[in-house]
Amino acid sequence: MSANITGADVQYEQQNDAPPQDAPTGDVGDNDYQSRTGQSHIPVQKDDAPVEDPIDASKADSDQALAQDEKEAIDRSNIIGGRTRGATKKAGTYQEPGDDEGLPGPDDGTSRIR
């Protein structure tokens, strides 16, 4: 696939991927739905009302923040201390199955095909 963009490609993009002419532009702010005093028991804020941001931008993307997140996310009381893998039989007690193991015997009533 070629990464070359031709004039025809640009013209196509301008003609076909442009937003509709009647699409609104700019910042949209509609405060008509905000709660009025005594009107509703569920408060609704204005679009331009400030929102509290609990994230400190200066510390949000740091190794310290990552370490704190991991510390809070890992429940140490739920980690098994002992070893769980390798629970096998003692050495020398394992025997491989024989060639006829799991197969029906000669007198089980099934026919043989040769």
Q: Is the pTM above the cut of 0.85?
A: no
User: Residue 21: pLDDT band by 50, 70, 90 thresholds?
Assistant: confident
How confident is the model at residue 8, as a pLDDT?
Answer: 82
pLDDT in tens, 78-113: 887 776 676 677 777 777 878 877 777 777 777 666
Task: Output the 3-class SS for 6-69.
Answer: CHHHHHHHHHHCCCCCCCCCCCCCCCCCCCCCCCCCCCCCCCCCCCCCCCCCCCCCCHHHHHHH
Contact call for residues 46 and 30 (beta carbons, < 8 A): no
The answer, yes or no, to whether residue 13 has pLDDT greater than 50, is yes
Q: What is the mean pLDDT of the chain?
A: 76
User: Which pLDDT belongs to residue 45?
Assistant: 76
Res 68 pLDDT > 80: yes
Question: Is it the case that residue 52 has pLDDT exceeding 80?
Answer: yes
Residue 28 has pLDDT above 50, yes or no: yes
Over 60: is that where the pLDDT of 2 sits?
no
